[in-house]
Structure 1
Amino acid sequence: MEVELRHLRALIALADCGTHTAAAAELRVSQPTLTRSVHQLEERCGRRLIESRTADLTEDGLVVLGRARRIVGELDALIADLDAHPVVRLGFAWLLPDKWFAATRASLARRHGVNVDVRRVDDPLAALDAGEVDVALYRNRPHQLSVGMVTRRVGVERRVLAASRSNPALGNATEVRWGSLPAGPLVVNTLSGSTAADSIPATENTEARAVITCRNFEEWLEIVAAGGGIGIVPELAARRISHPGVRFLPIPDAPPTQVRLAWRDRPVPARAVQWFLDVAFTDRPEA
């Protein structure tokens, strides 16, 4: 039996939806059809991919899932490339740089007739690696990239301090200095944050600073608002976020945050992705 796309899509849907019923509904097929597709894939692979009692993926299933996402993602990108109305899937975790994105999107549509499908994900680089997006926008995460993935800076952003309005250490301050940040825990978004614990200067206030971790921007914002700790974010947040429990203060001497794009250059990106990158890096204002 040859492995077909329906087998791969069935496994992906089951992993994403968690149950055979929900996965079948997602693919608009009957549950027996979905179950049969998964069983056929298991027979072809010669191993169990799904735990029969829980519908959880086995270790082998997770390996196949990762490759299946890339294969299906490449096919979807190819179809989009050949479509009369091509689309670039841009993954981001929080707050796209507004001026840059507006200019890039408008120029791409005007020059090439390409649309941008904006997708909010907790981890843009993981989504890119899985083939769920074509381009990932991220900030200050110079982690080792997967094979075939490249990155380039698209702009920089100034940093600001985020703190609870009830924080007594700030008083009537209108700004803070990078070398003398307020004491207290640092709240760090480990998946898509722009400032890690080891990137802030070590001073008397920060040598024993505790770190509170979270996994997305919404969690980060609510922890800061509740007084759980301070946070460091691009000034874009001060312009775009209105939260009654959070105040933002400039940090004039802080090193800027890098805004970067990542994409896969192997296999060769679709034409629409190449056009997007050309516009993003040459025909736009700074992020």
Structure 2
Amino acid sequence: MEMRHLRYFVALADCLSFTRAAERVHVTQSTLSHQIRQLEEELGQPLFERIGKKVVTTEAGELLRGFASRALREVDQGVALLKPDAGNLTGQVRIGATHTFNMGLIPECVALFLARHPTVRISVEELSAEVICARLRAGELDLGIAYRPEDPTDLWFEPLYNEEMVLVVSDSHPLAGRKRIRMVELHRQDLVLLARSFSTRTMIDECFSACGAEPTVVAEMSTVAPMLGLVARTQIGTIVAINAVPEGMSGLAVIPLESPTPTRTPGILWRIGQTKPVFIQSFAVILRKTALGNSLRREKVGVRVNEKRAGRRVTERIR
């Protein structure tokens, strides 16, 4: 089946006249008739029938008509947007994002999107994952950016990448020079973690339980930025997603965790069955590409930084 088959079919289904349909798609009646016959043979059932001098759609033809029309509209809109003289998109994208992603990912994506589509308006709200899900179900958001929910029910979760949690300590911390660290080694280590109401905290607690470690949680906070600020000023460590650590933030050491490695999956949350206008799909494309690119870049940077720190500490010991 080729695109032209669908175009000829929709034209005939709309006009119910071989003469007018052929004029509409700029082919001869014999060509149109031949193409329709090819489509019917491929599908294995008639799409039209003649009643006297009239042409009518069969039940199968009427069923296919709606799907074919929508498919052609989507294709035509997409092709039109790729043309150099295409008009500007208009509309509004309503986004809900949790704190971690609102720190860097969302501003970067919004900047890229507005550079391409300056006439589209964007609304971003920093919300908890639970509120994002509720607002999506109510139709008050177009998409959400959060970690995979425990019970998505009527929402569709589109994974972006897998993100490892890391230990973050100050440069002066005894563990700062380590390339990797097992979670059991954090037994009775002073940590500041997210509050227990966060699903991320639940996962971290489960990882500690699995390896038989019990860290000393000296503080709990609801956002990452103050946690990192506390870590930079003390000998207290924390466990956060690697993408939550701002690039170039001085005074901190980022150390990968293992045995087990806490891992979370960020992604896009959609309401099942919702209509996605072109401008929303365009933002989602930018979001997917940016998120994956940032994830890969941060992993490489983290490896290089820890190798340099480890090398520096070895040199200091030799001296």
In structure 1, the partner of 2:190 is 184
Partner Cα separation in structure 1 for residue 125 and residue 256 of structure 2: 27
Say whether residues 1:219 and 2:226 are aligned partners. Answer: yes
Q: Are the structure 2 counterparts of residues 249 and 263 from structure 1 closer, same or farther at C-alpha, using a change threshold of 3 Å?
A: same
Q: Are the structure 2 counterparts of residues 115 and 261 from structure 1 closer, same or farther at C-alpha, using a change threshold of 3 Å?
A: same
Equivalent runs, 1:21-170 vs 2, <5 Å: 85-92=90-97, 93-95=99-101, 106=112, 115=120, 117=122, 119=124, 121-130=126-135, 133-139=141-147, 141-145=148-152, 148-165=154-171, 167-168=173-174, 170=175
The structure whose Rg is larger is 2
Unaligned runs of 5+ in 2: 1-87, 296-319
Displacement of 1:232: 1.7
Higher relative CO (CA 8 A, sep ≥ 6), structure 1 or 2? Answer: 1
Partner Cα separation in structure 1 for residue 142 and residue 182 of structure 2: 38
Displacement of 1:215: 1.9
Q: Are the structure 2 counterparts of residues 262 and 178 from structure 1 closer, same or farther at C-alpha, using a change threshold of 3 Å?
A: same
Partner Cα separation in structure 1 for residue 132 and residue 274 of structure 2: 17
Residues matched between the structures, number? 200
Q: Are the structure 2 counterparts of residues 279 and 240 from structure 1 closer, same or farther at C-alpha, using a change threshold of 3 Å?
A: closer
In structure 2, the partner of 1:242 is 249
Q: Which amino acid aligns with 1:249?
A: I
Task: After superposition, give the CA deviation of every residue in 1:128-177 in whole Å (9 maximum; x if it has no partner).
Answer: 523654222123x53324x6422121112233211245544x26434323
Say whether residues 1:207 and 2:201 are aligned partners. Answer: no
Displacement of 1:187: 0.8
Aligned to 1:207, the other structure's residue is in SS state: coil
CA contact (8 A) 2:101 2:145 kept: no
CA contact (8 A) 2:101 2:146 kept: no
CA contact (8 A) 2:100 2:244 kept: no
In structure 1, the partner of 2:265 is 258
Please, what is the CA RMSD of the aligned residues?
Answer: 4.3
Q: Are the structure 2 counterparts of residues 240 and 198 from structure 1 closer, same or farther at C-alpha, using a change threshold of 3 Å?
A: same
Q: So what's the TM-score if we normalise by structure 1?
A: 0.50
Displacement of 1:179: 4.2
Q: So what's the TM-score if we normalise by structure 2?
A: 0.46
Q: Are the structure 2 counterparts of residues 84 and 221 from structure 1 closer, same or farther at C-alpha, using a change threshold of 3 Å?
A: same
Partner Cα separation in structure 2 for residue 106 and residue 133 of structure 1: 20
Q: Which amino acid aligns with 2:165?
A: R
In structure 1, the partner of 2:85 is none
Partner Cα separation in structure 2 for residue 230 and residue 193 of structure 1: 19
Aligned to 1:202, the other structure's residue is in SS state: helix
Q: Which amino acid aligns with 1:157?
A: E
In structure 1, the partner of 2:8 is none
Q: Are the structure 2 counterparts of residues 157 and 203 from structure 1 closer, same or farther at C-alpha, using a change threshold of 3 Å?
A: closer
Q: Are the structure 2 counterparts of residues 164 and 284 from structure 1 closer, same or farther at C-alpha, using a change threshold of 3 Å?
A: closer
Say whether residues 1:232 and 2:200 are aligned partners. Answer: no
Task: After superposition, give the CA deviation of every residue in 1:206-251 in whole Å (9 maximum; x if it has no partner).
Answer: 236447432222333334345484322222244526154x432233
Unaligned runs of 5+ in 1: 1-82
Q: Which amino acid aligns with 2:208?
A: P
Partner Cα separation in structure 2 for residue 153 and residue 176 of structure 1: 27
Q: Are the structure 2 counterparts of residues 185 and 284 from structure 1 closer, same or farther at C-alpha, using a change threshold of 3 Å?
A: closer
Aligned to 1:91, the other structure's residue is in SS state: strand
Q: Which amino acid aligns with 2:254?
A: F
Task: After superposition, give the CA deviation of every residue in 1:88-109 in whole Å (9 maximum; x if it has no partner).
Answer: 2333212469789857975797
Partner Cα separation in structure 2 for residue 204 and residue 192 of structure 1: 21
CA contact (8 A) 2:168 2:240 kept: yes
In structure 2, the partner of 1:29 is none
Displacement of 1:85: 1.9
